[in-house]
Amino acid sequence: MKSLTALSTRIQGIASIRSFLFMTLIMFGLGYAMLSSASPSEELMALADGLNVPDTQFWRSADALYSQLADYGEYGIHLYLTRVSPVDLFIPIAQALFLSIPITLVFQRAFDTNSVWQLLNTIPFAAMVGDYLENASIATIMLVYPDRLDALASVSALFTAVKFIASFASIGLIVAGFIVWLIKKSASK
């Protein structure tokens, strides 16, 4: 609990409209890098019959992942490891900050400063941990392919689910905090 409080306090120390705008620019830049013509995403999707990269699949079986890797072939796996994975080193931390800053800003207005609710600004970091574990798992699987690591493939899907659930929960927290703030603001008039 102490490290969670320390993380929450550190986020509160950097949270500002300016830092949120800065993180928004970074997220747009990373999104562009992943979705632009410079990104191999479309090429990878074409290799896998329209199936998006494994990181974007909420749930997948080990067999489904290995089927996708077979579709990628050596060329697609190389593309993924050399062009998608390097950009994906920055996305988890950037997204965690991008989501935790507005949670912090809204919750500072919606709840008392010492409220336990303030700790919820750390939820995006659960998504970050899930994302990094997912990335490491998928990269490891690709590096040893065609050998199979079915247990790791299954666990990587769990990491992806954690990433998505914590990310959507973070967005929900922003909305909920904003609603509480508006109610609190209208009640004080």
- For residue 175, give the DSSP letter: H
- Number of C-alpha atoms within 13 angstroms, CB side, residue 187? 7
pLDDT in tens, 116-155: 999 999 999 999 999 999 999 999 999 999 999 999 999 9
Q: What 3-state DSSP class applies to 49?
A: coil
Q: Which DSSP string do the residues of 97-146 spell out, in sequence order?
A: HHHHHHHHHHHHHHS-TT-GGGGGGGHHHHHHHHHHHHHHHHHHHHHHTT
pTM over 0.85: yes
Give the 3-state secondary structure percentages of the chain, helix then strand then coil, rounded to 5: 80, 0, 20
Ranges of each domain in the chain: 2-181
- Mean pLDDT of all residues in 43-49: 86
pLDDT in tens, 150-184: 999 999 999 999 999 999 999 999 999 999 999 99
pLDDT band at 100 (very low <50, low <70, confident <90, very high): very high
Under 8 Å between Cβ of 69 and 126: no
CA 119 to CA 159: how far, in whole Å?
Answer: 22
CA 57 to CA 157: how far, in whole Å?
Answer: 8
